[in-house]
């Protein structure tokens, strides 16, 4: 069974706001499982959110991100994270109009050689690996658990 993450944990791990997660759910960008009113995200959802956050930080619009996700689902029959995890390295490149997904460094170099304009590149695999490392790494102590305060006796 895959681990499940409540919205607050996803927000902590990815740096995205709870409102943004809700908005993405409402728009069908990343749709978690529901448990009553709670949104529960799978490990695949979490990794996909991290990749989307990375793309957003690099200037990709949500419209372009949706195009990438639909392309992968249509052409490869897989979710974004399944595609990224299946190979050692995946790079997403764009010239602003076209989107390219390359699975090897040689493919990236060939694409860059043949283009006549600048391209933005994001290594999707690195983002997924960062999330995996955060989950496996040492857990931080819960900030809400405080040490008992030692009381001094009045003299």
pLDDT score recorded for residue 88 = 65
What average pLDDT does range 50-70 have in this prediction?
82
Structural domain boundaries in the chain: 4-135
Specify the range with the lowest mean pLDDT, choosing from 21-30, 129-138, 140-149.
Answer: 140-149
Non-local CB neighbours of 33 within 8 Å, separated by 6+ positions? 4, 39, 40, 41, 42
What's residue 8's pLDDT?
94
CA–CA dist 28, 26 (Å, integer): 6
The top-scoring range by mean pLDDT among 66-75, 85-94, 119-128 is: 119-128
pLDDT at 131: 80
Tens digit of pLDDT for each residue in 4-52? 999 999 999 888 999 999 999 998 888 999 999 899 999 888 888 988 8
- What pLDDT does residue 151 have? 34
Indicate if the pLDDT at residue 154 is higher than 70. Answer: no
What does the buried/exposed string (b/e) look like for 103-136 if buried means 16 or more CB atoms within 10 Å of the residue's CB? beeebbeebeeeeeeeeeebebbebbbebeeeee
In this prediction, residue 86 has a pLDDT band, given cuts at 50, 70 and 90, of: low
Kindly report whether the global pTM for this prediction surpasses the value 0.75: no
CATH architecture of the domain formed by 4-135? Orthogonal Bundle (1.10)
pLDDT at residue 66 greater than cutoff 60: yes
């Amino acid at each position: 069974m895959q681990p499940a993450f409540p919205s607050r944990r996803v927000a902590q791990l990815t740096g995205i706001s709870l409102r943004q997660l809700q908005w993405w759910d409402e728009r069908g960008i990343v749709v978690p499982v529901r448990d009553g009113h709670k949104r529960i995200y799978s490990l695949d959802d979490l990794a996909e959110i991290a990749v989307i956050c990375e793309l957003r930080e690099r200037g990709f619009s949500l419209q372009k991100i949706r195009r990438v996700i639909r392309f992968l689902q249509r052409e490869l029959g897989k979710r974004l994270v399944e595609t990224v995890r299946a190979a050692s390295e995946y790079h997403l490149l764009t010239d602003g109009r076209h989107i390219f997904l390359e699975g090897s460094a040689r493919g990236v170099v060939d694409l860059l050689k043949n283009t006549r304009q600048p391209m933005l590149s994001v290594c999707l695999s690195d983002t997924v690996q960062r999330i995996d490392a955060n989950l496996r790494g040492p857990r931080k102590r819960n900030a809400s658990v405080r040490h008992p305060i030692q009381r001094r006796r009045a003299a």
